[in-house]
Amino acid sequence: MNITKNDIVKIGYKARELVLEESNNLIIHSVFQNAFNLICSNDFIVGILNETNVCTTQSLVFKNSVFNNIYDSKLKIGNEFKLFPLNEIKQIEVLDLTVPCLINPNKISRINDNVDKCLRILKKQCNSSIMACYLYGIKTIYTDMLYSKLGVYELNNKSSSLVDIYNRLQNIIGLGVGLTPSGDDFIYGFLTSLFFKYEYDNKDNKEIIKLTENLVKRARTQTTILSYNMLRSCINGEFNESIRKLALEMILSTNTENSLDKVLTIGSTSGADMVAGLLYGFKLLW
């Protein structure tokens, strides 16, 4: 596929790296309405998205018109997909999806107000989000399992060690509905909150990187390849642009409605499950 740098709206760090690796064969893995995935060496997935989607470190967002033209070339699963010339891709600046340096953050009390505001909005998602139901104690077929693996939410002990928290999270890898199961989305949201907390406290994040690596290792065999790749990006402390913005606004401002709405539109329940994880993290860690 012949492209120019003007065709690409955003590119994540890892996606750029994978695409520029000339020895990498990019094979069409899965195709959806507004996106398709390429798989390459070591089971890395590169998402090719149109502008309606949220950019992650492993995705490349094309202008809608360009995406439609690519899509219309009748993508066949298993076929190789080449993007060239690579020089054009080299010139594109990657989207920074790491946890930023936090300047003049709100006090914890103000952050807690934001969390409570978001929790009230999340409650409306309980008809579809398993993890929102978990937070609100609303019974679903998953409740008993979640209570036994994660603990009853209200009883979660704030003084739990990080190791303990990670152990519990590992128990819900691959659990729930969707290509990125609800448990994985929840973990993703939680890790966002955790990495931001370390930045807020100005702490060295080596410990949580190590713990995340171990969690992701388990995810390799316990969940879908797409979800595994989603969790994999957390090792480097990189999160999708929408949840990153939401976390940032919860810490820096008081106006979170718009960014919350954006996250909630991810997938059909993924966004809500991510928000549930993010707020769980804020409640437990902040």
Q: Which two tokens stand for residue 17?
A: 């790296």
**222 lines the binding site for another protein (CB under 8 A):** yes
Q: Which of 1, 77, 108, 163 binds another protein (CB under 8 A)?
A: 77
- With both helix axes pointing from N to C terminus, report the angle between 270-285 and 108-122 in degrees, rounded to the nearest 10: 150
User: 67 with 49: CB under 8 angstroms?
Assistant: yes
Task: Kindly tell me which of 165 and 272 has the beta carbon lying closer to another protein.
Answer: 272
Angle 270-285/257-264 helices, nearest 10 degrees? 130
Q: H helices within 40-126, ranges in order?
A: 64-71, 86-90, 108-122
> For residues 160 and 282, what is the distance between their CA atoms, to the nearest angstrom?
14
Q: What is the DSSP letter of 235?
A: G
Among candidate residues 10, 11, 7, 68, the one with its CA nearest the CA of residue 36: 68
| CB of 159 or CB of 221, closer to another protein | 221
Instruction: Report the residue count for the chain.
Output: 286
With binding defined as CB under 8 A, does residue 143 bind another protein?
Answer: no
Least spacing, CB of residue 253 vs another protein, in Å: 30
Residue 66 CB, nearest approach to another protein (Å): 10
User: Does position 145 bind another protein by CB under 8 A?
Assistant: yes
Closest approach, Cβ 128 to another protein, in A, equals 8
Provide the minimum distance between the beta carbon of 132 and another protein in the complex, in angstroms, as a whole number. 15
Q: Among 142, 188, 190, 196, indicate the residue that binds another protein (CB under 8 A).
A: 142
Nearer Cβ to another protein (98/222): 222
**Residue 269 DSSP SS3:** coil
Of the pair 223, 259, the CB lying nearest another protein is at: 223
Give SS3 for 83.
coil
| Residue from 31, 102, 121, 235 in contact with another protein (CB under 8 A) | 31
Span 159-188, contacts to another protein by CB under 8 A? 171-179, 181, 183
Q: Which CB, 32 or 84, lies closer to another protein?
A: 32
Instruction: Give the binding range for another protein (CB under 8 A) out of 140-148, 159-167, 234-242, 252-260.
Output: 140-148
Kindly indicate which of the ranges 91-99, 117-125, 141-149, 247-255 contains the residues binding another protein, using the contact rule CB under 8 A.
141-149
Residue written as tokens 């969940």? 223
Question: What's the order of all strands across the beta sheet hosting 35-39?
Answer: 8-11, 59-62, 45-49, 35-39, 27-31
Read off the tokens for 24. Answer: 């990498």
Binding-site residue total for another protein (CB under 8 A)? 41
Q: What is the largest CA-CA distance in the chain?
A: 56
190 lines the binding site for another protein (CB under 8 A): no
Strands 45-49 and 35-39, bridge-based pairing: antiparallel
Query: For tokens 């769980």, what's the residue?
Result: 280
- The CB-of-259 to another protein minimum distance in angstroms stands at 21
**Which residue's CB is nearer to another protein, number 15 or number 146?**
146
Binding site for another protein (CB under 8 A): 29-33, 37, 65, 68-69, 71-72, 74-77, 128, 141-142, 144-145, 171-179, 181, 183, 221-226, 267-270
